[in-house]
């Protein structure tokens, strides 16, 4: 797996520091309020697990599985909900935790969907952001790192279900995904 990396973009240590920073800000912003954290599967799973262990206020946790990629490296723009919420979010503050924001189309759709379910507020937290690829306007309240338009894997992010278990975020060599 390491041979497939062009370079390590964000080290394990930098990720850990950023997760602590984000959790501290989230804990402060929602202190005294009910917060439902929604992890977007599968990519955000590692990030969500680390993040919630650092959040110091009570939370409810749920997950959604959404697909817009399939086995491609490009978003199709067609969003499918593969697993819906188990938690009732009506009247609650919702924090959507995503691994990476690319075009923003998926999160734009998801935000509208959660509003229709009666969420009091919807905030977005992402580990990685590719602002140069944005096609839909979304308000990202908590952001880890802006990254270049490269194909990245690791720390939960995959290509064809590989590389999720890497402890860092790396740029995948082109020959590994073509």
* In contact, 154 and 163? CB cutoff 8 Å: yes
Return the domain boundaries, the chain: 11-149
Give the span between the Cα atoms of 26 and 54, in whole angstroms.
Answer: 10
The confidence score (pLDDT) of residue 40 equals: 94
The confidence score (pLDDT) of residue 2 equals: 79
The confidence score (pLDDT) of residue 74 equals: 56
Mean pLDDT by 10 residues, the chain (178 residues): 91 98 98 95 95 97 82 62 92 97 90 95 96 89 96 94 95 88
Topology annotation, domain 11-149? Rossmann fold (3.40.50)
Give the active site residues: 102
């Amino acid at each position: 797996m390491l041979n497939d990396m062009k370079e390590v973009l964000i080290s394990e240590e930098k990720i850990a520091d950023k997760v602590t920073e984000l959790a501290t800000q989230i804990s402060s912003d929602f202190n005294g309020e009910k917060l439902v954290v929604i992890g977007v599967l599968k990519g955000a799973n590692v990030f969500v697990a680390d993040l919630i262990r650092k959040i110091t206020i009570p939370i409810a946790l749920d997950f959604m599985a959404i697909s817009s990629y399939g086995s491609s490296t490009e978003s199709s723009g067609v969003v499918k909900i593969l697993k819906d919420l188990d938690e009732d979010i009506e009247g609650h503050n919702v924090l959507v935790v995503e691994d990476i924001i690319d075009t923003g189309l998926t999160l734009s759709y998801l935000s509208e969907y959660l509003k229709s379910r009666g969420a009091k507020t919807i905030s977005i937290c992402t580990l990685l952001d590719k602002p140069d690829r944005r096609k839909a306007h979304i308000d990202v309240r908590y952001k880890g790192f802006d990254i270049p338009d490269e194909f990245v894997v690791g720390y939960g992010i995959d290509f064809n279900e590989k590389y999720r278990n890497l402890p860092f975020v790396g740029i995948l060599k082109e020959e590994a995904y073509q």
